[in-house]
Structure 1
């Protein structure tokens, strides 16, 4: 543990961790607040899905450009600009809800702008960590950064339902606007050189192709991106649309915030395990643990008891965090530094490209077949696709170097 905390001696990593943690705090509050804002405005499950899908679609469309830019310009500058823009857009959403002049189309439109902001900085955020610490500290840095982010999200989800119930969704989203401003300041204080490759810059589409070639050079990489596509196609609507409705109806409004807090508590437990546990075949272990994500939608489908839902959410977070940590390390250790942002952008796009479709269709499909039935289908797809990915020799045999 002392060795892991020792990475905080690196100034640039400290500011990266602060910015990422503060951002995670605010971003944990907004999904809860936004869901209930749409419902308070009279929105249906389908309209809630469309609002969330507007963010996801804009993010997917823009992410590849964010990856190219993240390999062209200083990554901390990309993150700083994105945070400043998101602070403004979140302030507008908060003001509209507090002032009583908001509408579902307005939330969808500004949500799309927020998706663009997140997409421009997302690949840079993932690729920046290796620039802030020496190679021998990379595993500790990734583990600690993720642990701090997850801890902040636990806090955010824990208070989100209470903030919405006590003060309304507008004030809750206003907190997210403030966290973006603080994160932007932290990213401004990072001072690292830009990463450059050996060749001359090409046109943007040509550089995107380079990123795609790098992805398809690794079987384990494109295979698990495909698995993530299925995961988000089915799970996005289960959490973003059905979760708030099912849990609110069965237990109460604040319970959904607690369920998301349990999800993040599972992430934290996984992060604590990752601080010490560095298996030689980390991707194999992580992919096996990914099957635990089926527990959350399954729990919502079969039980109206809070403790069952909290347990399912915690197991989901535990399995996903063990996978995510080993996934990120696998990419960083096997992809050239000057292509990292582009590869991370293809990871995001490939993983989330079908999520808007899933969000948009979850409402009508679940209404037609029944909420519980659809949640069971979601759980089967998530667990089954994770185990199926283990049939690949490349996934099972990839070796982690630290």
Structure 2
């Protein structure tokens, strides 16, 4: 029987740091939005600030993957968190001191996006180094549960902090969470991941990561599915959801729907702590079909109960898939290429989202919001059916780890 992942100090420090980081990440978007509005900006200016952050995040993530396979991943996490604490501290100082501006927020937002991209692949890849292989699925599940709960708390606190203290002080708290996370990451003690004996140029190493992705059919196929999912669903949630649900059921109902979805994430994570299907990726891909329930409920039901159920099913199904997906990557990708593969996964997941956000409004105006939400649900279901026909997805099985020694590290 494998030891509980939380018995391993390195994993505890990793989860603690990542959870504190996400607590601040839940606060930052709300505080930043009100900061832009307080400086006289509107939807266009806010979109510019948020868009530049996202663009920098996607643009730098490949290099974050390369560095995560070149350097100790703990160093990447500590350095990125410390630098982010400084940058976000300057943002907070400018707002509290009254000398901020929208161009300044946009420029510092680009820096924060780059730092987030540099840390992301290393953070994901490091899980495998902190626990024995027998505890890997539990470690992934516990980490996701803790981070989802932290994000829920951070988002809930954000509005209270902005109202009580202002955007500047709320972002100062976000800066402090980066500093605390850096201190927690500094306590991680793990053996360095295997590395290639010879180092090629930066772009050649990116190419090596891409070849590792293409070597696994299940990997590139589901990255393409993620791209399609974010292209269609991103706009359905962020653009049409507030309009359709808000108009039919009231604005408060949209907040309840998002809360129901987050509860689905947490419940899904708890299920994966005990349920370990042999073909976790194949089973998880079928559960991904549940994500169609939310857009279809918004399209065809005026019942609040059904919309909340659809939102909960979306979060639940996506979390079951996400754990199986993460476990499959951790177990089957070469350790010296793991961070680079995660960087391609992140690009595939998020590069299409801005396009979907831009196109959703015009397409919904052309065919109708409810019709477009139906299309989104159909695309999700169709992509799941295509993915599950793949022999590589169907046959990929979790590993049988070697039994651990009787005495686990405490």
- Within 5 Å, give how 1:312-327 maps onto structure 2: 312-327=310-325
Deviations for 1:313-336, whole angstroms, at most 9, x for unmatched residues? 322111111111000110111111
| Corresponding residue number in structure 2 for 1:13 | 11
**Conserved 8 A contact 2:289-2:317:** yes
Structure 2 counterparts to residues 71-82 of structure 1, below 5 A: 71-82=69-80
CA contact (8 A) 1:53 1:360 kept: no
Aligned to 1:54: 52
Give the TM-score normalised by structure 2.
Answer: 0.86
Which range moved further: 260-269 or 122-131?
A: 260-269
Match of 1:397 among 385, 395, 404: 395
**What is the deviation of 1:214?**
0.9
CA contact (8 A) 2:56 2:113 kept: yes
Whole-angstrom distance in 2 between the partners of 1:64 and 1:258: 36
Report the CA distance shift for 1:388/1:94 in structure 2 as closer, same or farther (over 3 A): farther
1:206 matched to 2:201? The reply is no
Of 373, 381, 384, the match for 2:382: 384
1:215-364 alignment, distance < 5 Å? 215-243=213-241, 258-302=256-300, 307-364=305-362
Once residues 124 and 362 of structure 1 are traced to their aligned partners in structure 2, the CA distance between those partners, rounded to angstroms, is 33
Shift of 1:174: 3.6
Over 3 Å counting, the alpha-carbon distance change for 1:112 and 1:248 in structure 2 is farther
Matched with 2:405 is: none
How many residues are matched? Answer: 399
Q: Deviations over 1:98-118 (max 9, x none)?
A: 566655554443332222111
Change over 3 Å in CA distance of 1:67–1:156 after alignment to 2: same
Cα distance per residue 1:173-223 (max 9 Å; x no partner): 443222222111111111223223342111111111111111111100000
| 5+ residue gaps, structure 1 | none
Q: 1:51 to 1:259 in 2, by over 3 A?
A: farther
Q: Secondary structure at the match of 1:210?
A: helix
User: Residues 288 and 165 (structure 1 numbering): CA distance in 2 closer, same or farther, change over 3 Å?
Assistant: farther
Q: Take 1:219 and 1:192, find their aligned partners in 2: how far apart are those partners?
A: 31
Distance 1:245 1:169 in 2: 26
Query: Mean Cα displacement is larger for which, 142-151 or 70-79?
Result: 142-151
Aligned to 1:292, what secondary structure does the other structure show?
helix
**C-alpha deviation, 1:59, in angstroms:** 1.3
Q: Do the aligned residues in 2 keep the contact of 1:158 with 1:260 (CA within 8 Å)?
A: no
Q: Is the 8 A contact 1:281 1:398 kept in 2?
A: yes
Task: Evaluate the alpha carbon distance shift between residue 55 and residue 313 of structure 1 in structure 2; reply closer, same or farther with a 3 A threshold.
Answer: farther
- The answer to whether the Cα contact below 8 Å between 1:49 and 1:237 also exists between their aligned partners in 2 is no
Map of 2:407 onto structure 1: none
Q: Could you say which residue in structure 2 is the equivalent of 1:64?
A: 62
CA–CA separation in structure 1 for the residues paired with 2:100 and 2:381: 39
Q: Which stretch shifts more, 349-358 or 157-166? A: 157-166
- Alpha-carbon distance in 1 for matches of 2:240, 2:94: 25
Unaligned stretches of 5+ residues in structure 2: 401-410
Q: 1:112 to 1:217 in 2, by over 3 A?
A: same
The answer as to whether partners of 1:153 and 1:261 remain within 8 angstroms in 2 is: no
Q: Deviations over 1:215-247 (max 9, x none)?
A: 111100000000111111223333445555666
- Native 8 Å contact 2:70 2:195 kept in 1: no
| Structure number, greater radius of gyration | 2
Shift of the 356–309 alpha-carbon distance from structure 1 to 2, 3 Å rule, reads: same
| 1:69 to 1:98, Cα distance in 2 relative to 1, 3 A | same
Q: Is the 1:52–1:240 contact (alpha carbons within 8 Å) kept by the matching residues of 2?
A: no
TM-score (normalised: structure 1): 0.87
Distance change >3 Å, CA 173–CA 292, structure 1 → 2: farther
